[in-house]
Structures are given as C-alpha cells and as structure tokens.
Amino acid sequence: MNEEELRLLPTTPGVYLMKNKADQIIYVGKAISLRQRVRSYFQPSTKHSPRIARMVEQVERIDLITTSSELEALALECNLIKEHRPKYNVRLRDDKQYPWLKVTWQEQYPRVFIARRPQRDGARYFGPFTEAGPLREILRLLRKIFPIRSCKKALAPDEQHRPCLNYHIGRCMGPCAGEVQVEDYRQMIQEFCRILEGHTEQLETKLQEEMATAAARQEYEAAALCRDKLRALQKIVERQTVVSSVPTDRDVFGLAVTEEASFIQLLQIRRGKLIGKEGFYFTDFLGEPEEFLRSFLLQYYDEQDYIPKEIILPLTLPDEKPVATWLRNKKQQKVALIRPQRGEKFQLLRMAEDNAHFLLEREINRRKLAAAKSQETLERLRDLLDLERIPQRMECFDISHWQGEETVASMVVFQDGHPAPEAYRRFRIRGVTGIDDYASLQEAVKRRFLRGQKEEETGGAGSSFLPFPDLLVIDGGRGQLSAISAVLAELGRADQPVISLAEKEEEIFRPYEAVVIRLDRDDHVLHLLQQLRDEAHRFALTFHRARRKKQSLTSGLDQIKGIGPKRKKALLHKFGSLQKIRAASLEELLTVEGMTATAARAVLEGLQETE
C-alpha cells in the first residue's frame, strides 16, 4: 500500500484482512486504530521478523471492517480466523486432530462419545485430550457409574421402542422404552459433566451414603453396585494430582518459543486437582509472543463450554481488558487473567513453562529425525528410479467404481514424503461409460495436466494444480502405466517421471522397460510408495461411496410423481434415509412440511414398487 492509501485509513477500532494476488486471505488482525496498526507493517524504518517480512511481501490489498469497540473487533477477529484459517494466523491444533468428549446436550436424551472435531451444534465438548487411549479408559469407567445410552436412535417424546440388552444389564436407563423421565435422565448427564469438570466430592459422598443405606437394609446387591461405582470413581480421582491447597478452578498456560517453533502447555486444574494437561505445538509463529498467546487463547476458549475462574498466563497481554471482558461475556461470570510473580500460582506457572520447554525440545528433535529419515528415503527413491532430482512432490492416481457406475478418480499428493491433504483432488469421470479403468485413468491424468498447463499460462493465479509432480505414481500394472504414458506423450510431457505399483506382488514398473523392480517388504522406499498408493485408494473409495450414497438417497424419490426437490429435501431431512421413509406411515408422512395426502400416498406406493 502506498502512503496516500495508508493516510486515508480510519482511526477507529476494527479488523483488517490481508490478501495476496490470488485474493486469498493470508492474515486477519484486529486493532484499536486501524490506521496506526496497518501503517506499522509498511513503514521502512520498522524492522520485521523474517516471517512477518515474508507475509508483507505477499500482501496485494487489505480489506477493513470497522467496529464500534475493541471488544467487538476482538470477537470478529476470532470468528474470521476460524472461518478462513489464514496461512499466517495461529492455528489452534496445528496438524493434529485432538479427541474431544462430546455430550449431545441438544438432544432430549443426550449421548456421550468421542469426537474429533468440535462443531456449533448445541453439544457440550470436553477437551481436547492429547491421547485417545486414556480418554477411552475414562469414558469406560464413567459408564460404570452413569447408565448413559449408547445407541444412535433419534428418540421422540411420544415414541417407544423395545429396550436393548444394555437396559436389562443396568448399563442404560431405557429412555427408548419410556423407562425414565427426561428431567431425571438430564440430571444424570449434568452430574456426568460435573465429574469431567473435576467436581467429584459430592458424588463420592452420595455413593458412600447409598452403599451404607443399602447394606443396612441387607440389600447387598444394591450395596455391591454402589461399591463398584465408588471404586470406578476413585480410579478416576487417582488419575488427578493435587497441586493446590485452594479448591479453585484454574487453567495454567506455559509458553516456550524458539526460532524454529513454539509450544503451549496447558495444565487444567479443577478444585485444586490437576485433571489434565494438553500440549500444542506450532511451527507458525507470527509477531510478538503476547500477540501469539492472545490469538491462541481466543481460539481455544471459543470452543470451550467451560471456562475456569482463573487463567494463569506467562505474559501480560497488551489488550488484557477486552480479552477478559470477552471471556466474562462467554462464561457469564468474572474471569481473572493472572500473571503471578510469587507464591503457589507462580509455582504452577513454572511447572507449566518447564513442561513446555521440555516438550518443545523433544518435539523439535523428533521432527528433525523424522525429516532426515524421510529425506534419506527420497534420495534412495531418486537413485532407484534414476530421477534427475529428489521427488519432493509425488502424486498418485486411483480409480473407484461399482460395476462401471459412479466412476471417480482420486489424486493424492505427498510433499517431502508426507501427505499434503490440501493439495488432494478428485474427479468425476464423465467421458467413459462402463468398466474401463485405463480410459478413466487417462481422463483424470489428462484433466490434471491440462489444468496445470492452463494455470501455468496465466501465471499461476489461483493455482490448484501447480507445481507439476516430480514423480507420478499409478495404482496398477504395466497396462495402466502404458495408458498413462500415452496420455503424457500426447500432452507433450513424455519426460514426466512416472511409475506404476502393482498391488499383488508389489512390483514397480517403469515406462518402456522390461525389467521389473522388486523391493524387500521392509524397505522404506516400498513403504512410502505403498502409503501413497493406499491413500489414493482410500480417497477414491471415500468419494465413490459418498456419490453412491447420494444417488441411492435420491433415485427412489426422483421416480415418484408429485415429489419435487423441496418435498424430497423435506422428506430426507425428516427421516434421514430412504429405508425410514419406506417404513413410515401415512400419518407420519403428512407431518412433513409441504406434504399432501395425495403426495404421501404416492410416496408409499412408489417406494413399495421400487423395493
């Protein structure tokens, strides 16, 4: 931006969105004064870190959204980062998908299960947890105490089903059979959530009293059941370490930063007990540590249902007041942001920071060793195939269909020996009828290279098929390889390195060569190629199944007279599947929005004919 454009920027609070030549948002930031903040990026006298300098070089234009207050700008910044996930903003979970414990609070009879991605669906989420194993063990123990339903039935208030085995063995309260009131079931779920928040004393006392009462009445089976529940609860408590003499809920954040990466260690303390610890590793570090930590906190607590009363931080945030206000509005109670200098809280902070530094160093070393091993494998692959350069970018194609129908192709990309999901592409095969894997592969590869050539001619603007691969891998044998070699020659890319990997004997074929390459089963080069091939197969199969599911959902209804797109959508939204629509009664069909008696009868008759 030139000086004249910078001078015209408003001085009000707001959010700025930096965009590159492809009109992609690469950074979202908030400011008390937009003019002052944006100008700071483009002042010649300002010395930026290498990462900020790279970002500023890519900025083509900046969009602004003014707000009435700094707090409003803070909330807007958080939402925009989550929506667009810009390259240079902090991304909460880095490259991992941490498990969460999901309580479907929006349902009348909530369920509890492990989920990988929190959503704004009205459910309550607890976590994230760094390991799924301990989380499953905690859930197993809690199910001994709380008879929570594990089925996926959508239970309606006036609908009853035959109870399953879990009800008869005391592992479910039988909401499907109307054996428990909604209020009583939800009260149990509320107690379950309190345990996850660290409040165990009340339940422990209650179980002890129930066990004593049952024993006094000589109801020994009931007493034994209370005893087993109490033991399961005590096992959960044993996993929690007492770290504070004050029974207060706290989150303690430790931060470790190097030039290579950064690490945030979170200690979750509930009623003075350490109930969990989570680590977050980042290779993307932009700006000052205070700004980095602030951005992390906003994203982290935006996904949390529970916020403790105290949050202990290693740094003083530059805009601490609006952050505290934002947290208070979300919790509906006061939240204290504390940077301790001495005492018990300082000891907790030092524990978190010591853990952060240790785990950061360990993770950096682990990744360096993995990168060296991957580089060695790629160099061996180059030498094995006589390639001109190391195959940093490898692409693999695979075909999936069902008896020639809904044929699709997948393109999977590995960068530096690791999957790059953002570069994956999939194709619906249009020019081939019936079963013809060769022609299908040819169409997919041809479309990929033509798209890449077109993007190359336009200067790579908005490119999604560039760069071209250093090595092209085809799932199949000599026939598939010959078909692809012919397409590459037709496109003028006969020099494109390409091989095929046959699954049965794991043989590697090269174009126009009779010699077949066979590697030992424990060879790292073969493992890499197998991983690439298997990922292409998985990606193609997933896409094909999605296409078939969509087709099966709509094909039966498409043939019924009087059922247009709106009624079809309403039916699927109400019942969820063709099978459930077929099983529905006339009265149930009439409850669907826009459904008439004539249309409902047509649905029943039409689906009976196609069954």
Give mean pLDDT, residues 345-357: 91
What whole-number distance in Å separates Cα of residue 310 and Cα of residue 248?
Answer: 8
Range of the domain at 467: 393-547
Q: Both tokens of residue 570?
A: 């309403």
Confidence of residue 253 (pLDDT cuts 50, 70, 90): very high
Dump pLDDT digits (tens) for 367-422: 999 889 999 999 999 999 999 999 999 999 998 887 667 788 999 999 999 999 98
Instruction: Decide: residue 423, CB within 10 A, 0-12 exposed, 13-18 middle, 19+ buried.
Output: middle
Residues 401 and 540 placed together within one structural domain of the fold: yes
CATH code, domain with 525: 3.30.420.340
Asked whether the beta carbons of 215 and 274 are under 8 A apart, the reply is: no
Is the sign of the CA dihedral 148, 151, 157, 158 positive or negative? negative
Residues 259 and 219 placed together within one structural domain of the fold: no
Give mean pLDDT, residues 235-253: 72
Residues 227 and 148 placed together within one structural domain of the fold: yes
Count of CB atoms situated within 10 Å of the CB of 436: 17
In a domain, 181, yes or no: yes
Dump pLDDT digits (tens) for 128-176: 676 677 778 878 888 888 888 888 877 766 677 888 888 888 888 888 8
Identity of the residue numbered 471? L
Count of CB atoms situated within 10 Å of the CB of 103: 23
Of 307, 340, 361, the residue that ends a domain is: 361
Dump pLDDT digits (tens) for 539-577: 988 888 877 666 655 556 777 777 887 887 788 778 766
What whole-number distance in Å separates Cα of residue 565 and Cα of residue 554?
Answer: 10
Of 241, 263, 290, the residue that ends a domain is: 241
Residues 210 and 316 placed together within one structural domain of the fold: no
What pLDDT does residue 411 have?
94
Q: How far is CA 114 from the centre of its chain?
A: 13
Asked whether the beta carbons of 348 and 267 are under 8 A apart, the reply is: yes
Residues 128 and 217 placed together within one structural domain of the fold: yes
Confidence of residue 588 (pLDDT cuts 50, 70, 90): confident
In a domain, 383, yes or no: no
Residues 397 and 539 placed together within one structural domain of the fold: yes
Q: How many domains does the chain have?
A: 5
Confidence of residue 220 (pLDDT cuts 50, 70, 90): confident
In a domain, 95, yes or no: no
In 3D, which of 101, 145, 129, 169 has the Cα closest to residue 234?
A: 145
Of 343, 361, 379, the residue that ends a domain is: 361
What whole-number distance in Å separates Cα of residue 392 and Cα of residue 374?
Answer: 10
Residues 281 and 219 placed together within one structural domain of the fold: no
Residues 325 and 196 placed together within one structural domain of the fold: no
Dump pLDDT digits (tens) for 72-125: 888 888 888 878 888 888 776 544 556 778 889 888 889 988 887 777 778 888
In a domain, 285, yes or no: yes
Dump pLDDT digits (tens) for 477-498: 899 999 999 999 999 999 999 9
Dump pLDDT digits (tens) for 255-289: 998 888 899 999 888 877 777 778 888 886 666 88
In a domain, 10, yes or no: yes
Q: Both tokens of residue 128?
A: 């994230």
